[in-house]
Structures are given as C-alpha cells and as structure tokens.
Structure 1
Amino acid sequence: MITKNTRHPVVQPLDVPHGTSEFEEKRAALLQAFWDKVPIEYYLPADIIDDPPINVSQIPSSCGILTAEEVKITENYDATGIAEAVATRKYTAVTVAKAFGKRSIICHQLTCCLTQWFMDSAIEQAKQLDAYLEKHGKTIGPLHGVPVSIKEHMPIAGTFSSQGMFSSIVKDEEDCQMIAILRSLGAVFYCKTNQPQTIMHLESDSHWGRVLNPFNIHLSAGGSTGGEAALIAMYGSPLGVGTDIGGSVRGPSAFCGIYGFKPTSYTLPMRKFLASAFPAELNILCSTGPMCRTLRDMDLFMTLVLSTKPYLTDPRIIPIPWSGLRTPTIQKLKIGIITNDGFIEPQPPVQRAISWAQAILSNPKYSDILDVKPFKPYNAKEAWSKIRRMYWPDAGKGEKDAIAAAGEPLHPLSQWIWKDAEETGMLDAVGVSQQRDERDEFRCKFAEHWCAQDVDVVIGPAFVGPACAHDSAFYWTYTSLYNLVDYPGVVFPTPITACADERYAEDYVPLSEECRHVKMLWDKGGFEGAPVDLQIVARKYHDNELFGALQVLREVLGLK
C-alpha cells in the first residue's frame, strides 16, 4: 500500500518502522516543516502518489511541472557542461538553480531522496553569482553556477545535519571543509540527501523515510548515500558528494546505474563531516568521493577539489598530485576479471554484466593494449568477517543508546550490521590494537595475492546482485573488501538490466551459506528493470592509475 498524506506527498511502498508516540510527533513536525517550504504547484498529482508505476524515472520530465527548457537543462548537461553553459552565458545561474531545484523536489516525491530542500537560498546564491559575472566578466570559479547535492551528514552553514538518527540532528553554523571548497569554486547548494539510520548500512532509511530505487520502487536505492544516487539517476542533480566506509558511494551508485568513486582514504577532505567521532575509523577508514553521470565529471571534481591544496589545512590528506584521466598507461593494461569472490556467487544479471565486459575486453582487436586474465580476490569470506567486527569496536552501543533515548525504532539493517560485534562487546585498547594487527596482516596477504596474479586493475561485481529488495542488503562483500584493504574503486554503468525470467545455472553449487541465502533472495523475484554497474579497482594510492585505466577503457566499453 502507498502511504497517502496530502501534506507529505511521498511514495512509500514500505514504510520505515514506527517509534514511540512522542518520537512520531516530533518526526511529523520535522516532515511538516520540510513541506511548508514547498510551493503547492510543485506537488505531483495525487493519482501518481497513490498509484505510481514501478519505474518512476521518467515522471519528472513528463509530469508537466518542468518547462521544456528546464527538462533540457537537467537532462542534456552534466556538471562540466553546465559550468561551460553558465560561463558562456547560455544560461544564468538562477535559471539552472531553478531547474534543478524544481526537479529535485519532484524526484523526492517519487523516491524520498531528500532531507532538506532550500531552493530559495540557492536562488539567492545564484543571483550573486550572476551579478558577479555581469560585473567582472568572469566566473568566481570553475564550478560557477553548478548545482551540487550534498549527503545529509555533511555540514552546510545555515542547514541541519545528522548521523541518520533523530537525536543527532544539529544546526550547522559553518561549512565543513569540503563544502567550503566547493562554495569557493562557485558551486550552488540546493538540497541535502537521505541516508540510513546510523549511516552504516546499504539501505537509505531514516527518520526522513525510505529511499526508493527510481527504476523499480520495490527495490533499494542503496546506502549509505542512497538519496544522492536516486536523485542523480533521475537527473535531479548533476553532481553529488558521498562517503564510503563499506560501499556507501559505490553500492548506491551501482543500484541506480550511475558513476561513483571511492578514493584511497585521506585523498579528499573530510574534516568536520561528522559532529562526533566515529569508532569504526579506528581501523576502517572512511573515504569521500563524487557521484555523477559521466567520467569527466568525476575527474573534474577530483581535479578542482585537489587544486585547492586541502592538505595544507588538514595534514591527514596525502598531497598526491592529480592527473586523473590524463594519466598515461605506458604499457599494455593488465586487467583481472572477477567472476566471483570465492564467497558469494553474484546473481544472474551481474553474471551477465561480467560476461559482457569480459567478451568485449577479450576481443583480439584490443590485444595490443589489453591483457585480460581471471582474478580471484584474497579470502573474501575472512575479510567480511573481520570488517563486520571492526566497524563496531564499541559493539554499536553508542548508536543503540542514542536511538533508544529518542524513542526512535531500530531499523532491521541497523540491527543486522552490528550483530557480529555484539558477541564480543565493547573492546578495550588492547582489543582494538589486536584488530589493527589483524587488518594489517590481511592487507599484506591481499597485496601479495594481487601481485602473484600480476594485474594493474581488476573488474568485477559492485554488489552480489543488482539493486536488492528493501531491507535485504545483507552482504556488501564486493565493496567492503576494498575498504578493508583501502584500495580505490569506481563503479560504472553497463547496458545490462535485470529481467524477470533470469535463473541461476542448472549446475549452480553455493560457495557458502551466505551464497545460498543470496540465491534465495533472488528466487523471490521482483528485480525487473534494475540497472547493473560493474566495479574497477586499483592498488592503494594508485587512484591516478585507476583513472588512466578508465581512460583506456572509455571507448572500449563505451563509457560516457
């Protein structure tokens, strides 16, 4: 059943759990405050909200709320193109801000992708940019007038942020370092996007509601940067910023069929991203990166942010010069193909995507530039066991206490993610140090295993399947592995989408109990229309080489 509320017109086939009456009253007030800012003319017709199609991705352009020009601006230009169009005065920054502001609120009604919408302040910011260009004949910076969407927990001055829990909501008076940099480059901020309770699982469901996959609303948009992914996939944003400690950029990007990049940790600035320290980072380092619809926008983001030398004010950042897509590949590119990780066999659409890539890359006409071979990651099962414990050295106590204190309900995947760590309870300093020793030993064995197989990059699944059904994102092994070893990874779209009649091979033998469970989830059906991304990974600190490989593969695989 679709939840109907004339003041909160958001499609929600599966509502989030309910808390105490006091909590629900506070949550209702929060939602009401959101909708009080939205003009009634931007509301979708009630029949769409009450009885939406499974695929809602085309509704923003066909619903009649956007003008023809606004459809063109939002659909025909990536961030690089928008920057050029504003700089050459083809469009004003105000025109662009209005187009994406309107489209984003339409997207939200269909997928619950936003947490905050501040179109009025975005237009004011855009007016200032237009006035500057008119007066000085030049832009403020290379992102002058480009709308950028931001994940909920990242502070933007004058807005609110949270860690996915009601009790963690705070009003931010200052920009965090990343936002300050983007603002100095001319970016326009107009919305913040939904994330999971605790920001720590692959379904973006919070006190704001549950984010839906635009291509199949009965499937997840992923997490923890799921709101960004859904918004960008529906052309409600040309460029967004996410974070990734287990797949939180790559997972949702893959679920929604867009590009996402997790750099090596301490490549990009994350200063003041969270209001309080996060114990997981004692051993598993988070990373931040761009989410977008083109390779050149990923490269543009990296080039511009790093050009500001953020390492001068945050000494944790490694000052590695960025060459990105300009990075030369001196010799034949050696590519390892991962068909499975030895732990979980991917579901049929992902297998088809791997076969699609392998067939193209193995074509003899590319033999002078590509050397393609099979690749098996080192001990993915052990990696999954380790990282699930290392995420929660406090056994999740801090998050559980904060959620309970507000009368907020525990969401199913919140309970799932700290399940293994609960057995050991809160660790002391010796216990955390022991985990670090285990992590470093695993990293060295992983690197040795990689070297023995003699590859530059590997291409494989981004998830065990396409987008999963709601509340069933249990296994992120294909992304979290690279958080444990701290390797950079990009997910990129393929032409493959899930079909209704796909089946596992007749001779399928499960690789593990988790593998058997993944097949059971697939056999329930309902995955039609879900896009499939693949993931390409390089060694730690080889982020430039990763982009150099993508440049080689750009024409081979038809990447945008």
Structure 2
Amino acid sequence: MISKILTYPVVQTFDTPQGTPEFEEKRALLLQEFWDKVPQELYLTQNIISNPPTHVMDIPSTCGILTPEEVEITENYDATGLAEAIATKKYSAVAVVTAFAKRAIICHQLTCCLTQWFMDSAIERAKELDEHLKKTGMTVGPLHGVPISIKEHMPITGTYSSQGCFASIVKDDQDCEMVAILRSMGAVFYCKTNQPQTIMHLESDSHWGRVLNPHNIHLSAGGSTGGEAALITMYGSPLGIGTDIGGSVRGPSAFCGIYGFKPTSYTLPMKGFLATAFPAELNVLCSTGPMCRTLRDMELFMRLVLSTKPYLIDPRIIPIPWTGSATSVEKKLKVGIISNDGFIEPQPPVKRAIAWAKKALSDPKFADIIEVKGFQPYDAREAWYKIRHMYWPDAGKVSKDAIFSTGEPLHPLSEWIWKDAETLGMQDAVQVSQARAERDEYRCKFAESWNEQDVDVVVGPAFVGPACAHDTAFYWTYTSLYNFVDYPGVVFPTPIKTEANETYVDDYVPLSEECKHVRELWEASNFEGAPVDLQINARKYHDNYLFGALEILKDALELK
C-alpha cells in the first residue's frame, strides 16, 4: 500500500478533498502552525510514512523515539494507576506528561488523530504540579499530573476549537465546564483530537485530514470522536472525553477496541461545549462520557466529575448521586442478548462476538447471579428513519452554509447524513413539535416492549460490523437507537478479532435493503485484524445500575 502524502508527515490512505485555492491556502497555514511546534527528533522516518504496515499499533514502542521508561509509562498504566504512581512519586508529572505527549505525536503521524498538540505548555503545568507536591507533600487533586486528551470542539483556554468546519474555528479564552473540573483536580491537557466535518458522522475526516484505524489503516477509526479512539487504543492517551448523539463515543471506541460510556443525557456537564446552538438537540439530546482502556477508569471519571456537583453550575444536569460499581443489584440479573435488531444483521465477526458473550454468560458457574434471555429491540427500523430526520430540522442548511462560506469542500459522508432530511426542507415549530410527539410515542412503546421481554440490561452489537471501510459509515442503528430512547450504554472489548476470509452463513437472508447493503460492504473490503466490541445498555437514568450490572458481569465477560 502506498499512502498518499501531503506536505506533512502523516499517513493518509485517501486524498483529502480539495476546496477552493483560497481555502487550501488557509488550510495549509493551519497545518503549518501545527507542525511548527513539533521538534524534528519526534518525526518518524519517511519510509514509515511512505510505506506503513496495515497494522500500526506497534510502531510507537519500536520506532526508537520513546525511551524504555516512556514505553513503560504509556503502556503499563491506566489513568487510575498513573494517578497513584505520580502521587507516590514513582514518576514525576513531567515524566508522565512528556511520555504521553511524545507518544501522541507519533500516533498522529500514523493515524491523523490530533488537531492540536501543546507539549510545551503541558510540561510547564506538570513542572508546577511536581513543585507543589515537593513543597506540600500533597497532590492538588485526585488527577494530579494525569494527562487527558480532549475532543476538538471542547474549549480549552488558549487553544482553538471548531464545530467541524473551517468557518467555525474560534480561539477560546476560557475552559468549558468539563475541562475546568478536570483541571481543578490536577489533570494536564496536552492535545486535542480529530472529529468529522459537521461532527455528525461516524468517520472522523475534517480539514485536518482523515483518522485511520490503528488496527487496520484501511478502516475508519469511527466518529465523531474518532481521534480520541485512535489515540487511546495506541496508548497515546490514558483517558479522553467524547460526545455522543448517535454513537460518537461508542462507535469509535468499538472500532478501536476500547471502553466507552454514553450516559443518559444531562448526567455529565456539557456547558460550553459548542460555540453555537445545535438544532438536532431540539429532539435528540447529546451526552458526554469517558473513553479509556479499563472499566475502573470509566468508574473513576464518573465518580470524580459528579463529586463536584456540576448541577449547581448547570441546572440542566440531573443531580443523581454516583454509586457506580457499588450499586446493589438485589436479584438475579436478567441479561437480554441481541442477535440482531430485526433491521440489519451484523457482519460475521460481530456474530461470533455475540455467540461468545452468550456462551460466557450462560456458563453454569454464573447461574445463581445471571439469567440469559433473548431480546429483540422494538422496531429499530422506525427509530433509524425517525432519528435521521430529527438530526436535521434545518435540513442541514446551517452546516452546509458554514462549510461553503470558506470554500471548504463537502466531504462524502457530510452530504449523506442529511440526505433524508433535505427532502423535508426547513421544519417549522409545529413540525418539530410533532416530531417530538412521535419520538415520545416510540419511547413509550420501546419501554413497554423492554418490560414485556423482562430484562434488566441488554448485550448486543455496537455496530453492524467490527469497523467500516473509509467513507462507508452509513448505518449506526445499533448505537443511535439508544440516543433516540436516551438509554445509557457502555461498549467493551471482547477477545474476538476479525479474521481473514470470514463469510456470511449460507442460509443468510437480508432483513432489509440496508441489511443487504451491509453484506455488500463486507464483501468489498478487508477487515482483518479489526477488534470487536459489544454494547451493554440499561434503562434511562439507570446509569448506576448499569455499572452495578457490569460489576456482576465482569468475570464472565473478561472485563478489565
């Protein structure tokens, strides 16, 4: 495979769409500003950039740029472990931040996962933290010196943010609420990560370039938090923050084989996340949540952020105390297994993962605590059609106008995502209100069906496949369903990896035209090496219960 090289040392398997000459000039200046901050000694060799392997996961630790200690710091500790190691002075904050900042820029060269990289200011902050610990013998907080990566659109003081297009770039003079909370606990910010044009599709391709999946660079890392997912799975970050209105935390986490949590809406603070209002949230609410490599880091993040009582600053947040993994599940846990959603049959490796989970949970040694049942989501086809319209009550006009205003090119999936809503045109207040009534009616029917099937949580696919080939992220039905009903969900890694030459079963019958298309997409690409995550969901506002259930399922599902 010969990668397509632009001016900068970043692997890209597709040419970036070209805009007007004026736009490309501005874009070049933006990229040049990024690379001006990167020391030459952190550049990978031209041979790696020009001739990368399909699987790039091992390059950061073997390329010679990181010291043995930096490899150990980045690969052997999660965020919880790093906080302890820094607090006990096993490692300095400077050593930890330096290791992750260096690794992050290596990861970027292999996957285009970053939009901004500010190693110098991060190290200065780490020095202050080390000095504080030396003088007082105390940390500034429970995340003292822990590096945290942040999605591009979330404001960090003194850096830039955007809403997925060039015209929306602004320089921020204050932290959003989430960043302010984490900073107060001692977290150190060192980079921001790539997202899609419009922030509304499952492929993170923007004016910064396209994020590649580290397990197989011919596949997408997902979106809209794809830069985070690629960075975390390559050990370039121990913990990141994403947002999810259709699968934007869970999809990329699943594509890259890490943990991701979408809470019920208004559980975690999102104040200041976007510079302007987002019309989709008239009927489909966004959530924010952690992305990481361990179950305990998800727990740590939720416990710490909610301990600050963010509802006192943002009254939209529901003040539900966090009990997490300590939440009591008083009876045998009834787990529904989703083989398919009645709309799209998952691709072969996902089917294998479901079979693995069903067998693991049905092991007789767990019979006293787990009951396994079949589960069929209520009318997933209807939910998919409705949510695609509700994302764009403005028919996509606001986003399109912003993109075109600078001469920026329209990316293929940007055009695809609002295709259905475009036919309806700009909705008026009555039409938006009617859509809400239809949404609420569906939610009640979904809840009724869940109750009739008598389950506590459900385990099923996180996506129609293990990942998708570039520019083919068309069907997010397995994640967007839970945005539509506003149920919390965690995606978690399984031992299943995609193998070469996997095929559909001989008696496969498509459930829909979309299902038939998903098989065609499978047969047109090579998914070898892609990890497979599954998803577990609970009822709305049952986020604590979900984590209590994960504690019960931890051994059976090999959660770490």
TM-score band by shorter chain is over 0.9
- TM-score, normalisation: structure 2: 0.99
For 2:525 and 2:519, the matched residues in 1 are separated by: 10
For 2:415 and 2:257, the matched residues in 1 are separated by: 28
Match of 2:414 in 1: 414
- Offset, 1:501: 1.1
For 1:403 and 1:108, the matched residues in 2 are separated by: 25
Match of 2:326 in 1: 326
The alignment partner of 2:56 has SS state of coil
Match of 1:481 in 2: 481
**Equivalent residue runs for 1:383-422 within 5 Å:** 383-422=383-422
- Offset, 1:464: 0.1
Opposite residue 324 of structure 1, the aligned amino acid is G
Match of 2:192 in 1: 192
**Equivalent residue runs for 1:42-441 within 5 Å:** 42-441=42-441
- Offset, 1:19: 0.7
- Offset, 1:3: 2.5
Match of 1:458 in 2: 458
- Offset, 1:2: 1.5
**In the alignment, is the contact (CA less than 8 A) between 1:78 and 1:297 conserved in 2?**
yes
- Offset, 1:328: 1.6
Match of 2:472 in 1: 472
The share of aligned pairs that are identical, in percent, is 77
Deviation string for 1:228-269 (max 9, x for gaps)? 000000000000000000000000000000000000000000
**In the alignment, is the contact (CA less than 8 A) between 2:469 and 2:525 conserved in 1?**
no
The alignment partner of 1:555 has SS state of coil
For 2:463 and 2:98, the matched residues in 1 are separated by: 35
**Equivalent residue runs for 1:28-43 within 5 Å:** 28-43=28-43
**Equivalent residue runs for 1:503-542 within 5 Å:** 503-542=503-542
Number of residues of Structure 1 aligned to a counterpart in Structure 2: 559
Asked if residue 4 in structure 1 is aligned to residue 5 in structure 2, the reply is yes
Deviation string for 1:322-362 (max 9, x for gaps)? 01111121110000000000000000000000000001111
**In the alignment, is the contact (CA less than 8 A) between 2:334 and 2:372 conserved in 1?**
yes
Asked if residue 445 in structure 1 is aligned to residue 442 in structure 2, the reply is no
- Offset, 1:4: 2.8
The alignment partner of 2:154 has SS state of coil
For 1:492 and 1:131, the matched residues in 2 are separated by: 38
- Offset, 1:524: 1.1
**In the alignment, is the contact (CA less than 8 A) between 1:458 and 1:537 conserved in 2?**
yes
- Offset, 1:374: 0.2
**In the alignment, is the contact (CA less than 8 A) between 1:15 and 1:210 conserved in 2?**
no
Opposite residue 196 of structure 1, the aligned amino acid is P
For 2:468 and 2:15, the matched residues in 1 are separated by: 16
For 1:526 and 1:178, the matched residues in 2 are separated by: 39
Deviation string for 1:413-434 (max 9, x for gaps)? 0011101100110001001100
- TM-score, normalisation: structure 1: 0.99
The alignment partner of 1:494 has SS state of strand
Unaligned runs of 5+ in 1: none
Opposite residue 555 of structure 1, the aligned amino acid is D
Match of 2:18 in 1: 18
**In the alignment, is the contact (CA less than 8 A) between 2:262 and 2:489 conserved in 1?**
yes
- Offset, 1:525: 2.9
For 1:115 and 1:299, the matched residues in 2 are separated by: 28
Deviation string for 1:451-490 (max 9, x for gaps)? 0000000000000001100000000000000000000000
- Offset, 1:16: 2.3
Deviation string for 1:102-143 (max 9, x for gaps)? 000000000000000000000011011111111111000000
For 1:339 and 1:411, the matched residues in 2 are separated by: 33
Opposite residue 539 of structure 1, the aligned amino acid is R
The alignment partner of 1:556 has SS state of coil
Note the aligned Cα RMSD (angstroms). Answer: 0.6
- After the TM superposition, which segments of 4 or more aligned residues of structure 1 sit over 2 Å from their partners? none
Unaligned runs of 5+ in 2: none
Deviation string for 1:275-307 (max 9, x for gaps)? 000000000000000000000000000000000
For 1:476 and 1:4, the matched residues in 2 are separated by: 30
For 2:326 and 2:3, the matched residues in 1 are separated by: 48
For 2:126 and 2:365, the matched residues in 1 are separated by: 49
Match of 2:502 in 1: 502
For 2:4 and 2:551, the matched residues in 1 are separated by: 45
**In the alignment, is the contact (CA less than 8 A) between 1:200 and 1:224 conserved in 2?**
yes
**In the alignment, is the contact (CA less than 8 A) between 1:149 and 1:228 conserved in 2?**
yes
Opposite residue 186 of structure 2, the aligned amino acid is G
Opposite residue 399 of structure 2, the aligned amino acid is E
Opposite residue 518 of structure 1, the aligned amino acid is V
Match of 1:558 in 2: 558
The alignment partner of 1:557 has SS state of coil
For 1:9 and 1:81, the matched residues in 2 are separated by: 33
For 1:257 and 1:218, the matched residues in 2 are separated by: 16
For 1:470 and 1:346, the matched residues in 2 are separated by: 18
Opposite residue 334 of structure 1, the aligned amino acid is K
For 2:373 and 2:113, the matched residues in 1 are separated by: 39
**In the alignment, is the contact (CA less than 8 A) between 1:500 and 1:525 conserved in 2?**
no
For 1:115 and 1:54, the matched residues in 2 are separated by: 23
For 1:401 and 1:137, the matched residues in 2 are separated by: 54
- Offset, 1:557: 1.4
Deviation string for 1:34-62 (max 9, x for gaps)? 00000000000100000000000000000
For 2:355 and 2:3, the matched residues in 1 are separated by: 38
For 1:16 and 1:486, the matched residues in 2 are separated by: 35
- Offset, 1:365: 1.7
For 1:366 and 1:155, the matched residues in 2 are separated by: 45
Opposite residue 42 of structure 2, the aligned amino acid is Y
The alignment partner of 1:48 has SS state of helix
The alignment partner of 1:403 has SS state of helix
Deviation string for 1:5-27 (max 9, x for gaps)? 5x510000112211111111111
Bigger mean CA deviation after superposition, 284-293 or 322-331: 322-331
For 1:306 and 1:16, the matched residues in 2 are separated by: 40
The alignment partner of 2:555 has SS state of helix
For 1:254 and 1:219, the matched residues in 2 are separated by: 12
